Amino acid sequence: MATSLSGKKVLITGASSGIGAAIAQTLAEQGCLVWGTTRDLAKVATFPEPLRQKVKFLAMDVNDDHSVRTGVDRFMAEAGGIDILINNAGFGVFGPLEEFPLAKVKEIFETNYFGALRLIQAVAPVMREQGAGLIINITSLAARFVIPFQVHYSATKSALSALTEGLRQELRPFGVKVVAVEPGDIKTNFNNVTQFGLKEASPYKKWTEPSWRVIDVNMEKSPSPQVVADQVLKIAGQKNPRPYYVAGDFLSTKFPFIARFVSQRFKEKLTRIFYGIDFK
């Protein structure tokens, strides 16, 4: 059953570009009152005009406790409440586990997992007290289909998926819905800001190079962020959404179904073949 979105108060992290910007603008066009976060308010002037016109921006660094508390307080003061929280902020990394600096691993967990957790801990008490609310965590198909040399990214998204499942149960008695959206490859600036951890004379280079080429090519062929925004719009309008939704091209949306019928060993084989790293 669809519900009206007019006047719904939405807070979305990482709304300055890519998936976050598409979600923010789409919900605003449907009548939601949308606040997006960005680490640097000075950059708002460079955002596309439709985004600036429809979305209010506030400063927030999801890696910083004080910044999150201050940003949420400002949002609550301006909005007077919250209906939907969308945890979207995140980034990717690429490199062999053996060589990837531990500091960078901690950094991606700080943003992709703990960043979402900070927002949830700040917002959940409000939703619980009002007896309603929706939390949408943007995870990834990479949580289910782990890509070699992007393992840390998959690990953060797997952790966020587990958080989503547990939180969904914990907040259910209070009328708060929790949902994960799992995008496949989406054409954004994601690859350009991916952090690399690969030694110059790495013994893995024979496989990292073809793997990255496949990743880059797939990004160029992938659908726009609008497919994720449309899925979020669908969820936001439902009275009782499912736990997980996939967003992406046709093959991406079928992956979870196909995975039910193949062994883990065969799934790993297909992954290696797909990314050109079948270790031969």
Question: Which residues are part of the catalytic machinery?
Answer: 153
Q: What does residue 14 show for φ and ψ, rounded to 5 degrees?
A: 65, 45
DSSP class per residue in 22-74? HHHHHHHHTT-EEEEEES-GGGGGGS-HHHHHHEEEEE--TT-HHHHHHHHHH
Residues 6+ apart with CB under 8 A from 98: 204
In one-letter notation, the amino acid at residue 18 is: G
Residues paired with 244 in a beta bridge: 180
Residues paired with 178 in a beta bridge: 135
Measured on CA atoms in the order 143, 245, 219, 84, is the torsion positive or negative? negative
Count CA atoms closer than 13 A to 1's CA, side-chain side.
3
> Dmax over Cα atoms in the chain, in whole Å?
60
Distances (CA, A) of 237 to 5, 10, 30, 126, 230: 6, 13, 10, 21, 11
Count CB-CB contacts under 10 A for residue 74. Answer: 14
